[in-house]
């Protein structure tokens, strides 16, 4: 089962918004939010909350792809998130997440007994490729016990 299939099966909000996992690797996660009338805002595009959920979900997917092998000793948790809306998003949108620090560097901090934090950058785009939103989610790996 892929990370996308796992998250779609276990995270109710992913199913509610019908998010699709297009790519989930340690280098990049790409999710899609289809155009759905029930989640449109007052200008006809996806509601800000739906786009936030799309971006946060993309960030979580890349975190699991990059650090899933560390789950026996640490829990990934979002620390904070910021989103900036750049242009009106109409129709379906995608979110592309990338890690802001090398995986080995984060794991080295975990190995040293620290609680590493690392940013995940997310670009939200409409079908014509225009960036409609930018998001940063700072994650941590909280050691177990």
Domain boundaries, the chain: 3-143
Closest CA to 135 of 101, 96, 109: 96
Specify the pLDDT at position 30.
98
Tokens of 54: 């799309």
Where would I find the H helices in the chain?
3-10, 12-16, 48-67, 103-111
Can you name the CATH fold of 3-143? Thiol Ester Dehydrase; Chain A (3.10.129)
pLDDT digits (tens, 9 = 90+) for 4-32: 888 888 899 999 999 999 999 999 999 99
pLDDT digits (tens, 9 = 90+) for 84-138: 999 999 999 999 999 999 999 999 999 999 999 999 999 999 999 999 999 999 9
Strands 20-24 and 117-126: unpaired
How does residue 3 score in pLDDT terms, banded at 50, 70 and 90? Answer: confident
């Amino acid at each position: 089962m892929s990370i996308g299939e796992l998250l779609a099966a276990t995270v109710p909000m992913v199913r509610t918004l019908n998010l699709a996992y297009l790519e989930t690797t340690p280098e990049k996660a790409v999710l899609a939010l289809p155009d759905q009338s029930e989640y449109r805002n007052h200008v006809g595009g996806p509601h800000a909350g739906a786009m936030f959920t799309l971006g946060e979900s993309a960030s979580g997917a890349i975190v699991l792809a990059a650090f899933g092998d560390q789950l026996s000793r640490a829990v990934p948790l979002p620390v904070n998130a910021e989103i900036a809306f750049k242009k009106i998003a109409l129709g379906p949108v995608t979110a592309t997440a990338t890690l802001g620090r090398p995986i080995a560097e984060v794991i080295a901090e975990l190995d040293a007994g620290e609680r590493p934090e690392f940013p995940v950058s997310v670009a939200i785009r409409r079908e014509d490729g225009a960036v409609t939103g930018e998001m940063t989610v700072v994650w941590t790996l909280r050691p177990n016990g």
